[in-house]
Amino acid sequence: MTRFEALVEVTLRPGIADPQGATIEKALAALGFDRISNVRAGKAFRLHVEAANEDEARKRVADLCQRFLTNPVIEDAAISLEPAAPADR
Amino acid sequence: MTARIGVVLFPGSNCEHDAVEAVEKLGGQAEILWHGDRSASGVDAIILPGGFAHGDYLRPGAIARFSPIMTAVEAFARDGGPVVGICNGFQVLTEAHLLPGALQKNRGLTFLCQTVEIEVASDQSVLTSGISPGTRLRVPINHFEGNYTCDQRTLDELVGEGRVVLRYVDNPNGSVGDIAGISNPAGNVVGLMPHPERAVDPLLGSEDGAVLLRALLSVAEAVVVPADAGTTTANS
């Protein structure tokens, strides 16, 4: 068994209005940040998962995203995985 | 016989007593059902009230869906028992897949607390049974995440099958198709963002919510739900 650290980024699906991202983007100009666009707001989760290999770990996290961490009607998840740092094991 | 209405109390619910009060004022018998219980046995209808179940953590309704009582609510709904989710209760029903779609943040990112006009769009539900489509009602809304959304196919189904139960006359939150409330195909599960339980007395500014709750009470009185509906065993 290997312990992986997963980063799950949840964002609204394309086509779903993202009023939070749009409001942040509008505020950027007022702060003098130009040439910044396509702001999307979301949320992120970090978690550890034990699995035989990376494929299995990814499958389990994807299932978790599908059933709990996202609402698939409006949200997508991007999963990145890496072996957990030894200090965290 | 007097209808017995179970009102589910999740940690963070805050409209359960309004619902109990409204049901009793209209002649029904109400009781609180604790979210940690596994049985809803004996009630004639279930209300999932408004509030912030489980702090709305993750997403509104996302964690409430896993409360033990929800297995009983699902069984009760499957057996044809009337289930109405109001506001946060509507969010719980979509997360539990008892109703399609999702409720996202209001257009304009504003928490809305105001009385709005809604129109009955279908009388084929436990909440609108016997009320003529087109009837307009003034009922308060009180939400941040009430902007109903779903894919086009679901929307076509909802509209085509007469499952859009209530529509906003002047859409306050960006809901697709001006949807304020929908039902499942059988019409026994209804979710709505407006709060009918807060509009049952002239002192509250409107009595129009009573029209909807009276319909629910009459259906609940008439419906014969198997005595063991909503009962789950350890194995199920």
Three-state SS annotation for B134-177: CCEEEEEEEECCCEEECCHHHHHHHHHCCCEEEEECCCCCCCHH
Domain that holds residue B211: 4-222
- Residues of chain A with pLDDT > 70, as a percent, come to 97
Complex ipTM value: 0.81
Residue B102 has its nearest CB partner, among A17, A19, A74, at: A74
Q: Residue range B79-96: average pLDDT? A: 97
Question: Is residue B236 domain-resident?
Answer: no
Q: Does B59 sit within 8 Å of A17, measured CB to CB?
A: no
Q: For chain A, first and last CA: distance in Å? A: 12
In angstroms, the CA B119 to CA B161 distance is 17
Residue B103 contacts A where some CB pair is shorter than 8 Å: no
Residue A73 has its nearest CB partner, among B102, B105, B108, at: B102
Residue A17 has its nearest CB partner, among B95, B107, B151, at: B107
- Residues of chain B with pLDDT > 70, as a percent, come to 94
Q: Residue range B39-56: average pLDDT? A: 94
Question: Is residue B161 domain-resident?
Answer: yes
Measured between beta carbons, the chain A residues lying within 8 angstroms of B59 are 71
pLDDT tens figures, B165-193: 999 999 999 999 999 999 999 999 999 99
pLDDT at A74 over 50: yes
pLDDT at B122 over 60: yes
Q: For chain B, first and last CA: distance in Å? A: 31
What pLDDT is recorded for position B228?
59
DSSP letters for B188-204: -EEEESS-GGG-SBGGG
Question: Is residue B230 domain-resident?
Answer: no
The CATH number assigned to the domain holding B44 equals: 3.40.50.880
pLDDT tens figures, B190-208: 999 999 999 999 999 999 9
Q: What is the DSSP letter of B225?
A: -
pLDDT tens figures, A37-52: 999 999 999 999 999 9
So what CATH class is A2-88? alpha beta
Q: Which tokens in the block code for residue B145?
A: 């995440």
Question: Is residue B85 domain-resident?
Answer: yes
| Total domain count, chain B | 1
Query: Which residues of B, range 106-165, sit inside 8 Å of A by Cβ?
Result: 106-109, 147, 149-151
